[in-house]
Structure 1
Amino acid sequence: MNSALSVNETGAIQLRTEWSESHSVWLRWPYREEIWPQQPGELAPVQQEFLLLLQELADAQIPVNLQVAVGHTDAVQALLAKQAFSAALAIQLHEVAYGDIWLRDCAPFAAKQTSKNEQASAWHFQFDGWGGIDDQFNDDIQARNWLSEKLGLLKLGAGIAEDKMVLEGGALHHDGEGTAIACAGSILFRPGNDGLTAAEFRLKLQGCFGIEKVLMVPGRLAADETGGHVDNLAAFIAPGEVVIAYTDDASHPDYATCRRVFDFFDDAVDAHGRAFVIHKLPLPRAPRLSAAEAVDIKQRHGVRRRIAGMPLMASYVNFLRVNANGDSASGGFASKLIVMPGFGLPTDDIARNLMAKWLPEYRVVTVPARALLVGGGGWHCASFVY
């Protein structure tokens, strides 16, 4: 890296929102046998789900940049060439060493625009493999640095600013108007942030991103292996407007948490004093890792063991939102797409229809994500939009 600015050396950047205009979706191809169930000579179920996601992105004419692990490019290229959607999909493969596929969590926090030479183009924070549950996190850090260079962020403004705080992309949502939401579990209680207080965290976000108000959403969902990422629990869909995971089933393990989160937003106001419009997405009971899936995972030391019967983090809040708008050089396309995760449940249709009602200007689709859950995340976690 050719830049290591600190909070005191660069002004706050205006952070991109979930609905900021973008040019493409970035993804990573899943390949690790110690995370994903695989049969020799067959596509892993999670890889089949990625092909379905690529199909939807092709239908929406949204370009894709796909990172592929070293040594896997030829196989992935041959696989994609056989797909019916390949002719319509503008996809570029990049061979990069990375640990896991959760690109959102170890990606640059990029500025919406960099207007001053002394202003950073993005922030890099520390990444520790979600508190040490995956020992290949250093590869993810190097892949993040590669991505920032590929996007040209090192050459914009003052380049990349860095901070020693551990902060993942799925741990923070914001509205673009000074309000952010986060969960304490994945930030204040992370070993890499030992001693960090809520007040210090708020000051950090103010210095880095100009955030005026940080709302620490109470609790976390029981199956969340990150310590508590807000992108499973609540998300902004517009300034002053949030969607939350919710259940009315008093026997649900997360019932009390859902009630606390609703009451929290019902009582809160944003940085401009506005009360929140609260939308509820159904929260299904966590599916369980099957014995057949567990047998097909090559468990090893250094990576979280995935054992039969463990709950999998299924949340419709973990959706991918794309507001793609290409310039004339890239075809002049424009496409608004929301990809909801599907779990093979009746609530899949309910969640998709609700999101289409709340954001009618977007095309809303469901892409199966049950196999994706085995690795601990959803389509929001697995993507980066820029």
Structure 2
Amino acid sequence: MKIDPKYFFKNISDKDPLRPADLGYFFPAEFHPHGATWLSWPHKEASWPGKIQLIYPAYAKFVAYLAKSERVNILVTDQNMQRFAEDHLDRAGVPMDRILFHHFPTNDAWCRDHGPAFLIPSNPGMSKAIVDWGYNAWGDKYPPYDLDNLIPEKVALHLGLPCFRPGIIMEGGSVDFNGKGAVITTEACLLNPNRNPHLSKEEIETYLKDYYGLNQIFWLKDGIVGDDTDGHVDDITRFVSENKVLTVVESNKKDENYAVLQDNLKLLKSFRLLDGRSLEIVELPMPSPVIYEDTRLPASYANFYIANKHVIVPTYRDKNDEKALDILSGCFPEREVVGVDSWDLIWGLGSFHCLSQQEPAYL
């Protein structure tokens, strides 16, 4: 079945039965092989006030690990920003033949949330596709975001891919997939009235199933302290295989995160996949609180990114860094787990997973 890509650049009405799931499309797990990673070059000083110049060495090191095993697409505003990026990447030893720059201006760097959500088809003979969710900077917290909201459509047009437009707000960091029909998310984020106040929980579940090709949604409660996204799941719980999750826990009972993370842990233990299996749960420690200018930042080892040959993990100059890396290494025996200092990056309230969006390979 061949689909005219132009069809999908209009809003699809509620009465139109054609949805990605109807055509056999689904969102694969992050550990599915990648064709590329997409990034938006950081340039908004207000996201790292007083620190933006300090983040580039760690960011370039992140790109260097990505480029070892996959193409890296980087969105920049213009030629000047491209030259600035090339200078930093060159200093980090990044092989520039693995990097493709696109002059697609953005408001900010958080490509996980404003970037293209790639689907792959279960039916042979069809191309990949993109879901163009709406984006409002986590409940209109950080306007303007008009340029960011255009990125999925621009990428779809550039690649010549079909583009589905559900017409609701959804962010990539709010969902994590096992690639076999299940997703984990949080009520604090997806049910927040600053996203889609006109939709019920059941209606949001329908959108998730129809546009991500899902059949099962696991709801956790809240996220960690300092997370300005209202509880993105990529700071707390991540699938590492079809039935195994890593979830962060706090050992200090007096810490603000302790009760929240224990509640989520209890929920995870109660979940069952459709075949009746319980989830295999691996607990990941939290780092000690990272505080800058009297602000507690959302530092978490769960904000790692799974590339083709590496798992890139944010570290925080903390006693738990090595423990977290060891635990992650046990979960990814076929990949090299590497820590990259995120002490300055986390001042932007996100790390490597928040900054990136995978493009799956179409096998």
TM-score by length of 1: 0.84
Amino acid of the structure 2 residue aligned with 1:367: V
> What is the alpha-carbon distance in structure 2 between the residues aligned to residue 80 and residue 358 of structure 1?
29
* 1:72 aligned residue (81, 101, 104): 81
Match of 1:275 in 2: 278
- Residues 352/88 of structure 1: CA separation in 2 closer, same or farther (3 Å cut): farther
> What is the alpha-carbon distance in structure 2 between the residues aligned to residue 109 and residue 66 of structure 1?
16
**Cα deviation, residue 87, structure 1:** 4.3
**Structure 1 stretch 190-199 or stretch 215-224: which is displaced more?**
190-199
Q: Does structure 2 conserve the Cα–Cα contact (< 8 Å) formed by 1:10 and 1:119?
A: no
| Deviation string, structure 1 residues 61-94 (Cα, Å, up to 9, x no partner) | 433222223342232234434x251447622222
- Residue correspondence of structure 1 range 1-386 to structure 2 within 5 A: 2=6, 3=8, 4=10, 5-6=12-13, 8-12=17-21, 13-38=25-50, 44-58=53-67, 60-70=68-78, 71-81=80-90, 83=91, 85-87=93-95, 90-113=98-121, 115=123, 121-153=129-161, 159-289=162-292, 308-323=293-308, 336-386=309-359
- Residues 107/79 of structure 1: CA separation in 2 closer, same or farther (3 Å cut): closer
**Structure 1 stretch 135-144 or stretch 356-365: which is displaced more?**
135-144
> What is the alpha-carbon distance in structure 1 between the residues aligned to residue 66 and residue 153 of structure 2?
26
| Deviation string, structure 1 residues 47-67 (Cα, Å, up to 9, x no partner) | 121122133334x34332222
> What is the alpha-carbon distance in structure 1 between the residues aligned to residue 13 and residue 310 of structure 2?
36
Match of 1:298 in 2: none
2:38 aligned counterpart, secondary structure: strand
> What is the alpha-carbon distance in structure 1 between the residues aligned to residue 158 and residue 343 of structure 2?
31
> What is the alpha-carbon distance in structure 1 between the residues aligned to residue 302 and residue 34 of structure 2?
21
- Residues 141/243 of structure 1: CA separation in 2 closer, same or farther (3 Å cut): same
Q: Does structure 2 conserve the Cα–Cα contact (< 8 Å) formed by 1:221 and 1:228?
A: yes
Aligned pairs, number: 346
**Cα deviation, residue 272, structure 1:** 2.3
What stretches of structure 1 move > 6 A for 4+ residues in a row?
Answer: 116-120
| Deviation string, structure 1 residues 136-185 (Cα, Å, up to 9, x no partner) | 211101223222223332xxxxx211112211000011212121111112
TM-score by length of 2: 0.89
> What is the alpha-carbon distance in structure 1 between the residues aligned to residue 344 and residue 188 of structure 2?
25
Amino acid of the structure 2 residue aligned with 1:14: F
**Cα deviation, residue 259, structure 1:** 0.9
2:73 aligned counterpart, secondary structure: strand
> What is the alpha-carbon distance in structure 1 between the residues aligned to residue 282 and residue 13 of structure 2?
38
1:166 aligned counterpart, secondary structure: coil
Q: Does structure 2 conserve the Cα–Cα contact (< 8 Å) formed by 1:130 and 1:226?
A: yes
> What is the alpha-carbon distance in structure 2 between the residues aligned to residue 177 and residue 56 of structure 1?
27
Identity %: 23
**Structure 1 stretch 220-229 or stretch 19-28: which is displaced more?**
19-28
**Cα deviation, residue 285, structure 1:** 3.5
2:296 aligned counterpart, secondary structure: coil
**Structure 1 stretch 212-221 or stretch 67-76: which is displaced more?**
67-76
Q: Does structure 1 conserve the Cα–Cα contact (< 8 Å) formed by 2:20 and 2:26?
A: no
Amino acid of the structure 2 residue aligned with 1:151: L
Q: Does structure 2 conserve the Cα–Cα contact (< 8 Å) formed by 1:114 and 1:120?
A: no
| Deviation string, structure 1 residues 202-230 (Cα, Å, up to 9, x no partner) | 22222223322211102221211101101
The CA RMSD over aligned residues, in Å, is 2.2
